[in-house]
Amino acid sequence: MTLEGVAVGHWEDRAARTGVSVVVLPPGTVASGEIRGGAPGTREWALLDPGATVGAVDAVVLTGGSAFGLAACDGVVRWCEQQGRGWPTPAGPVPIVVGMVLYDLSVGDPARRPGPDEGVSACQAATAGAGRSGALGAGTGATVGKWRPGHESPGGLGTADTDDGGVTLRAVFAVNALGDLRGPGLDPDLPPFPPAGSEGTNTTVGVVVTDAALTKGECLLLARAAHDGMARALEPVHTAYDGDAVVVAATGTAGPASLDRLRVLTARVVETAIRRGVEAGRADWAPPA
């Protein structure tokens, strides 16, 4: 499936187990978002509010490296400036780049974090299409299952597309959750909270892009539906130790669509992307047979 003008790119260092992913958006893309985790790390989030003046976003960044990794957004801003992209001002366009981080410092080399050059590299690598899922980009050092001691396992970067009556939605999620994938036979016994060493070391972050024509307020409603999809895929979710955050962006090229239908599809595509990211990430890090 294609989304006109949308490209996804990644940079990663597998030895250091960190990386960055960027979703480059076509000019005029409207976006909003919502945070439900208690420990977020973000950039330019306030302008996503439907009441904020800035109405368009040029790119969304998902990155490892915790708060240090937000520096990758500077490189994406630089790249967008070179392309003549940005919010018009009297002094020239100012690129609008929204960023979200996850904590991967404890699984690889904590001194190796995505920075501006790595952000540029991710932009240069961006291509049309959702691309593969697994241990790449912002999901390279992601882990899940940390709420049960001894059960930590790889997370990953998951992508999924869905098409409905000529409207396309794409989800790109980096899954570094305190919890794990939900499945049949959930254990009724919960481990103690807070889990040891869990503070600020988690987070699931993602982007949903659609070609439907939406307002910022409608994008916010889809972001809330995206969190529903997150809760279907993961348990626990939105804890005080996760920085769970979602951006929804609408390019408008496919015209109007049923908002309620899009909300259902958003929850579904997010759940699929998260499950795909964790399952593919585990396969990528599995030892050879």
Instruction: Please answer whether residues 241 and 199 qualify as being in contact, where contact means their C-beta atoms are separated by less than 8 angstroms.
Output: yes
Question: Tokens at residue 68, please?
Answer: 């240090």
Q: How many CB atoms lie within 10 A of CB 28?
A: 14
Q: Is residue 95 in some structural domain? A: yes
**What pTM does this model have?**
0.96
Q: CA 10 to CA 54: how far, in whole Å?
A: 26
Is residue 258 predicted with pLDDT exceeding 70? Answer: yes
Q: Residue 62 is part of which domain span?
A: 7-285
In a domain, 46, yes or no: yes
Please report the pLDDT score of residue 149 as a whole number.
83
Q: Which H, E and C letters describe 185-245, residue by residue? A: CCCCCCCCCCCCCCCCCCEEEEEEEEEECCCHHHHHHHHHHHHHHHHHHEECCCCCCCCCE
Q: Is residue 69 part of a domain?
A: yes
| CA-based nearest residue to 200, from 282, 113, 101 | 101
Helices (H) and strands (E) in the chain, counts: 4, 14
Total tally of structural domains belonging to the chain: 1
pLDDT digits (tens, 9 = 90+) for 110-150: 999 999 999 999 999 999 987 899 999 999 999 999 998 88
Distance of alpha carbon 153 from alpha carbon 187, whole angstroms? 18
Q: Report the amino acid identity of residue 130.
A: A
pLDDT band at 289 (very low <50, low <70, confident <90, very high): low
**What are the pLDDT digits (tens) for 166-189?**
999 999 999 999 999 998 877 778
Give the model's pLDDT for residue 189.
80
Percent of the chain beyond pLDDT 90? 88
Q: 1 in a domain, yes or no?
A: no
Would you say residue 233 lies in a domain? yes
Q: Is residue 159 part of a domain?
A: yes
| Domain presence at residue 103 | yes
CATH for 125: 3.60.70.12
Please report whether residue 2 resides in a domain. no
Show the tokens assigned to 173: 């999620």
Mean pLDDT of the chain: 95
| Cβ(67)–Cβ(41) below 8 Å | yes
Summarize the confidence of residues 205-214 as an average pLDDT: 98
- 167-176 vs 156-164, strand pairing mode: antiparallel
Q: What's CA 96's distance to the chain center, in Å?
A: 16
Q: Residue 206 is which amino acid?
A: G
The tens digit of pLDDT for each residue in 219-241 reads: 999 999 999 999 999 999 999 99
